[in-house]
Amino acid sequence: AAAASEAELVGCICATFALPRGIPHPMELETAMRPSLGVPSTAEHFATMQSRRRTLERLWGSDKGEKYLSHGDKEHSAPASEVLETLDSYMQMLMQATLSMEVAPEATRVDKSFAVEWPSPVTLSSIRARINPTAAGNHIRSAMLYETSMLLAGRAMLLNEDAWDAVHGGAIDAKKASERMRAAAGTLDYLHTKLQEGGWSEALQCIVGPDTTPVELLGAKAFRDIFLAQAQQFAIAQAVIDGKAPASLLCKLCLGVVHNLEIAVSSLRADPAIKYAKITGAHGTANQACPITMFLAFQITLFKALAHRFAAADSWAKAEYGTAIGYQKKAAALLRERADISSPGLPPTV
């Protein structure tokens, strides 16, 4: 019974905000630039980069011929860990090419049109940036920055998926899941910094206007904090599995999850362009729709309740029985379905 109770607790702690995969639209940059590449080493670089881009599309799931794949669809796509390996090798070459365009924009031109399009797994909509032969070098570089930005956002989402894989469908590896979520948060922190301080946002304006900027880019900071919270969730799960951490520490860790999620909520609400109330993820193995508002409200309340539960355990161990009972009653109240939006407790489940 104790083992079953621990397994249920770990299962609750390991909940994540899952998203479908948005399959990148084919981008034929090397074909568009081939006549003007000139130097053999440059031509070889772009040919290799194009080959990796096509491999990335296939691994991501393009063979199914759809813009999106349901969360957990392993039949039509490679595991997230495999996609990430190709993504990182492609992105390294892409960033080198983009840097060369920044250094010599006057030497950057295309002879054929090409497009950069990424279906968003967050909003289930696509934003396309099309570059024509008349485009200036800085516009071509902006298209490459758009590609890089969406790759970074996609990388974070794949790391989130890889973390999910680590705790579902077999033995739970919460330590690996926590590491993957920290890597996802780090990726989004880098993206947010480049957008806000590295001039990327300004560069993107010439091809992606303020009204059509992808939510992944607008909400990079908020999702960073959500993923930091989830990294801490998995650390708590591993601590529960190991059975060595004191209850007082687990209580503090739960409050840290709440803190990060509340910061994320503030960030989502601060920018009306994000329209966060419309963001929906996948819930459970059946891929039922789960609005991010419900997910965050549920998680914040759950981890407040868990903090009280661990505080109760800590007080009980110190023979402070009255205090322990008070904490436990508060935890129980938080875990009941709330009567209305202003009441304490969990939101209705989907």
Distance CA 55, CA 311 (A): 50
Asked whether the predicted pLDDT for residue 94 surpasses 90, the reply is yes
Top-confidence residue, 70 or 217: 217
Q: Which of 303, 256, 299, 296 is nearest to 276 (CA)?
A: 296
Top-confidence residue, 342 or 160: 160
**Helix, strand, coil share (%) of the chain residues, nearest 5:** 65, 10, 25
Task: Give the model's confidence band at 263: pLDDT under 50 very low, under 70 low, under 90 confident, else very high.
Answer: very high
Q: Which of 332, 290, 288 is nearest to 309 (CA)?
A: 332
Asked whether the predicted pLDDT for residue 207 surpasses 90, the reply is no
Task: Give the model's confidence band at 34: pLDDT under 50 very low, under 70 low, under 90 confident, else very high.
Answer: confident
- DSSP β-bridge partners for residue 38: none
Determine if the pTM surpasses 0.85: yes
Question: Any residues with CB less than 8 A from the CB of 129 and at least 6 apart, and which?
Answer: 115, 116, 117, 142, 143, 146, 207, 208
- Cα distances (Å, whole numbers) of residue 141 to 95, 126, 127, 136, 149: 10, 20, 17, 9, 12
User: Average pLDDT in the 186-205 region?
Assistant: 93
Most distant CA pair in the chain: distance in Å? 80
Whether 30 contacts 50, CB under 8 Å: yes
Task: Give the model's confidence band at 349: pLDDT under 50 very low, under 70 low, under 90 confident, else very high.
Answer: low
Count of other CB atoms within 10 angstroms of residue 350: 12
Whether 339 contacts 345, CB under 8 Å: yes
Q: Strand 288-291 relative to strand 68-69: parallel, antiparallel, unpaired?
A: unpaired
Which one-letter amino acid corresponds to residue 16? T
Helices and strands (DSSP H and E) totals, the chain: 12, 6
Under DSSP, the state recorded for 76 is: S
Q: At 126, give phi and psi (nearest 5°).
A: -115, 145
Asked whether the predicted pLDDT for residue 82 surpasses 70, the reply is yes
Percent of residues, the chain, with pLDDT higher than 70: 91
In whole numbers, what is the pLDDT of the chain averaged over residues? 87
What is the separation, in whole angstroms, between the first and last Cα of the chain? 28
Asked whether the predicted pLDDT for residue 210 surpasses 60, the reply is yes
Q: At 114, give phi and psi (nearest 5°).
A: -150, 165
Lowest mean pLDDT, pick from 33-42, 159-168, 261-270? 33-42
What are the tokens at 88? 């990182």
Residue 58's Cβ-count burial label (10 Å; 0-12, 13-18, 19+) is middle
- Cα distances (Å, whole numbers) of residue 306 to 10, 255, 262: 11, 9, 16
Q: Which of 43, 223, 214, 215 is nearest to 116 (CA)?
A: 214
Which tens digit of pLDDT belongs to each residue from 220-262?
999 999 999 999 999 999 999 999 999 999 999 999 999 999 9
- DSSP β-bridge partners for residue 337: 346
Residue 1: per-residue pLDDT: 41
Q: At 127, give phi and psi (nearest 5°).
A: -125, 120
Residue 283: per-residue pLDDT: 45
* Torsion sign over Cα 6, 12, 16, 18: positive
Residue 109's Cβ-count burial label (10 Å; 0-12, 13-18, 19+) is middle
User: Average pLDDT in the 271-279 region?
Assistant: 86
Asked whether the predicted pLDDT for residue 348 surpasses 80, the reply is no
* Residue ranges of E strands in the chain: 21-22, 68-69, 114-119, 126-131, 280-283, 288-291
